[in-house]
């Protein structure tokens, strides 16, 4: 019996919530493979804050979600053949998970968005604090 190509691939899905714990419509979600070289996948959350990436190879990934002012990365996610993995991201919470990182958006000195950059927020407490209005 032949196994279809889709059964050999995994998927990552989940939801993104903002600082208030509400669905973050249109959040930018970046999925990157960490155990092999591969192109990153960039998708946007839908009207309910949900996202899904299908056709991923079996492997280890990190998922990063961004709002306009902050972001959160969760690593160590392993996809399974034919079985979706759920990764829900709440930008307002910080856990003790060592595979989780928080980011803040630092505005460009020129005032243009093109020069903005993301920096890890090592001072984030239980609720993410942003340095950008």
pLDDT digits (tens, 9 = 90+) for 57-78: 999 999 999 888 788 888 999 9
The pLDDT assigned to 3 comes to 39
Burial class (CB in 10 A: 0-12, 13-18, 19+), 53: buried
The residue among 114 and 88 whose pLDDT is bigger is: 88
The pLDDT assigned to 122 comes to 59
The pLDDT assigned to 116 comes to 66
Q: What is the pTM for the complete model shown?
A: 0.69
Q: Which residues, including other chains, have CB under 8 Å from residue 115's CB and lie 6 or more apart?
A: 108, 109
The pLDDT assigned to 100 comes to 57
- Per-residue CA distances from 4 to 1, 7, 24, 79, 83 (Å): 10, 5, 34, 17, 14
Mean pLDDT of the residues in the chain = 77
The pLDDT assigned to 33 comes to 95
pLDDT band at 8, cuts 50/70/90?
low
Q: Tell me the domains of the chain and their CATH numbers.
A: 5-102 (2.60.40.10)
Token pair listed for 26: 């249109």
Q: Span 81-92, mean pLDDT?
A: 88
The residue among 23 and 95 whose pLDDT is bigger is: 23
Judged by average pLDDT, the poorest of 25-34, 51-60, 100-109 is: 100-109
């Amino acid at each position: 019996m032949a196994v279809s190509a889709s059964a050999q691939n995994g998927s990552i899905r989940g939801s993104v919530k903002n600082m208030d714990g509400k669905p973050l419509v249109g959040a930018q979600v970046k999925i990157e493979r960490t155990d092999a070289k591969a192109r990153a996948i960039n998708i946007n959350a839908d009207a309910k804050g949900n996202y899904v990436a299908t056709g991923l190879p079996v492997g280890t990934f990190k998922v990063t979600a961004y709002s306009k002012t902050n972001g959160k990365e969760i690593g160590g996610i392993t996809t399974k053949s034919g079985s979706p993995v759920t990764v829900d991201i709440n930008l307002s919470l910080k856990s003790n998970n060592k595979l989780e990182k928080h980011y803040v958006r630092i505005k460009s000195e020129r005032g243009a968005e093109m020069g903005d950059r993301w920096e890890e927020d090592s001072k984030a407490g239980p609720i993410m604090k942003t340095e950008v209005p």
